[in-house]
A and B are shown apart, each in its own frame.
Chain A
Amino acid sequence: MSLIDTASAMPERVVDNAFFGLDPTKSGSAMFKGTRERRHLAKGETAASLIERGARTLGDRLNLNFETDVDLILTNVSLPDSCFMGCGASVSRVLGAKPKFILDLHNSGCVSFVYMLAVAQELMASGAVKSALLCCAQTAAGRVFAHEENRVRPQSAVPGDGCGVGYIVANDSSPIRAVVQRSFGEYADDMIGVTDDNAEYWEPHRQALHIDFTESKIATVVSRGNKLVPEMVREACKLADLPISKIDVLVTNQPNVNFLRNWREALLLPAEKQVQTFEEHGNMFGAAIPVCIERGRQTGRINAGHTVALGGFSHAGDYAAAAIWQPS
């Protein structure tokens, strides 16, 4: 299986730190650490529209005919455009694609791109599909964290919206050498959406939905994340029969500057071997990996023949995955 390329599509709206109304010299400003700006979805802008834009950029670059060249569409959207269903079918319609399968994954959030590689690999191995479009969109920044009630929460400055789309085919031209993924049910439910008036999200409520990482769990989630991601990358290296010293570039999800630093350090890599856009885009959840792959290729940091490690974890540690990619 080969990952041919990725493309990004970003919302137009750029939001700087001042938007959040916190004094960067005061307490709590540490939450801004490493961020300069991020993108926010505008009202009316959808995950499907971002994905369409990313897919078209990729299609133009690779000269794809969506009708014949896409057997499988996988999507992951952090806050879906609509309740009940994902946006895969909308994406298929606007692109004029005729896929054999559409899977709207509503799990594996921040590491969904790598998780999708694992899913696609299985479907390709069965012979069911020969090509796939992997679509990851982060939509919660503009939709949830920009809300005036949420804006002042320290957590709100970190997320940024964005979208990354990847194209994979069943051949060996730009191979994924290994993919590993694992779920940890014991870490489910440690991150939840809540409202201050204690309404369920589907119930009528007056106060804005936001994300709750309970304070007592922060240290646990930090140490879990610190451990999980390097472990998965090491496991992927082992499966690819490569020592970690052969990694030329590391691309992960980008929850904050600390995780980025810690994962790089744990894999004994210098900063120049890590591609990330945290300062410019914040935490793009699942979109970060495909967006950073495009960034790496455009800036000459990911080149043909490189060994690229992709890895990450989602939510509070319920999913973790890694892959080794050798682009052509």
Chain B
Amino acid sequence: MDINQITNVRRFENFPKDDMNALALDMTHAVYPHDEIYGPTCSLEEYVDCPPDEVFKYLADVRTLAEWTYSLRDIEHVKDDLYVFTDKIGGKTKCFTKVESNAQARTVDFHCSWDQGDHLWMIYLMRVIPAQLVLNKPGSVVLWTNCHHPFYDKNPHPELAPDGRKVWVGDMWPFFYAGHDVEMKNLKHICEARHAQGLPIVPEVIA
């Protein structure tokens, strides 16, 4: 198969530079609608003045979610590597959580779900990058992406909600950028404060 013949594959060989420039001009707007940028996926990134291995260790420790997230609290172990928090924005809502991390790549993926722990579909993909490589300065760059899973739009198990709960996590999708930015800044400020004072980034006991 000639990849240059595939519709919408644009390469130097089949898409001249003038056309590429024109396309770039057309695609470059002064402003972008929120839904276009944060509708299908919600990606954000932040610089953290703390060494990448420390930030990775902090993120990869499931207990620290009780620190840097806005509303996950009161961790309990369920079984194996599955934990459950109370998500305070949902009243007594349980949020089941499993961490899959890779120290070499410094990726930390949080597999979560409200109300049940059998199908963890709310997945928070994070990656820590040495700032020395990408910004030529010490510290870390943290990337964080969520994909707009269809369950955000429709709760697959409304029967599992605690009595009287009126909110569904996906109702807040339009606020995900804002909410995650607040949490990303929490992560940044906590790590930076501890690093600046020479304290362990991951405390022995998490309140």
Q: Does A154 contact B (CB under 8 A)?
A: yes
- Which chain B residues lie closer than 8 Å to A218 at the CB level? 21
- Provide the bound-state CA to CA distance between A265 and B26, in Å: 13
If A27-B18, A27-B19, A154-B18 touch, whether A222 touches B25 (CB-CB below 8 Å) is yes
What chain B residues lie within 8 Å of A222 (beta carbons)? 25, 28
Question: Which one, A28-36, A60-68, A172-180, A203-211, is touching chain B?
Answer: A28-36
When distances are taken between beta carbons in the complex, the residues of chain A under 8 Å from B26 are 30, 258
Interface membership of A263, Cβ < 8 A: yes
Residue B30 interfacial (CB < 8 Å): yes
* B30→A262 contact, CB < 8 A: yes
A223 to B29: give the CA distance in the assembly, Å. Answer: 8
- Would A265 and B29 count as touching, CB distance under 8 A? yes
Give 7 nearest A-B pairs by CB, closest first.
A30-B22, A226-B30, A266-B30, A262-B30, A27-B16, A28-B18, A266-B31
Chain B residues with Cβ under 8 A from A266's Cβ?
29-31
Q: B1-28, CB under 8 A of A: which get 1 and which 0?
A: 0000000000000001011011111101
CB distance from B11 to the nearest CB of A (A): 14
B15 closest partner in A (C-beta) = A27
How far is the CB of A221 from the nearest CB of chain B, in Å?
11
User: Which partner residue on chain B sits nearest A256 by CB separation?
Assistant: B25
A157 and B155 CA atoms in complex are apart in Å by 55
Nearest to A259 among chain B residues (CB) is B30
Assess whether B19 is in contact with A261, with CB atoms less than 8 Å apart.
no
Interface string of B24-53 (1 = CB under 8 A from A): 111011110000000000000000000000
Asked if A227 lies at the interface with its beta carbon under 8 angstroms from chain B, I say yes
Is A258 touching B18 in the complex (CB atoms < 8 A)?
no
Closest partner residue, chain A, to B21 (CB atom): A218
Q: Which of B22, B23, B29, B30 contacts A31 (CB 8 A)?
A: B22
- State how many angstroms separate the Cβ of A153 from the closest Cβ of chain B: 12
**What 1/0 flags go to A24-59 for Cβ under 8 Å of B?**
000110110100000000000000000000000000
Q: Least Cβ distance of B47 to chain A in Å?
A: 21
Contact of A296 with B by CB under 8 A: no
**Residues in chain A near residue B28, CB distance under 8 A:** 219, 222-223, 226, 258, 262
Residue of B at shortest CB range from A261? B29
A229-265 interface mask toward B, CB cutoff 8 Å, 1 = contact, 0 = none?
0100000000000000000000000001010011101
A219 with B29: in contact, given A28-B18, A30-B18, A154-B18 (CB under 8 Å)?
A: no
Name the CB-closest residue of B to A229.
Answer: B30
B29 contacts A226, CB within 8 Å?
yes
* Minimal beta-carbon separation of B23 from chain A (angstroms): 8
**Which residues of chain A are within 8 angstroms of B18 by Cβ–Cβ distance?**
27-28, 30-31, 154
Could you list 7 further interchain pairs (A-B, Cβ under 8 angstroms) beyond the known A258-B25, A261-B29? A30-B19, A219-B28, A222-B28, A226-B29, A262-B30, A266-B29, A266-B30
In whole angstroms, how far apart are the Cα atoms of A84 and B19 in the complex? 41
User: Closest CB-CB distance, B32 to chain A, in whole Å?
Assistant: 9
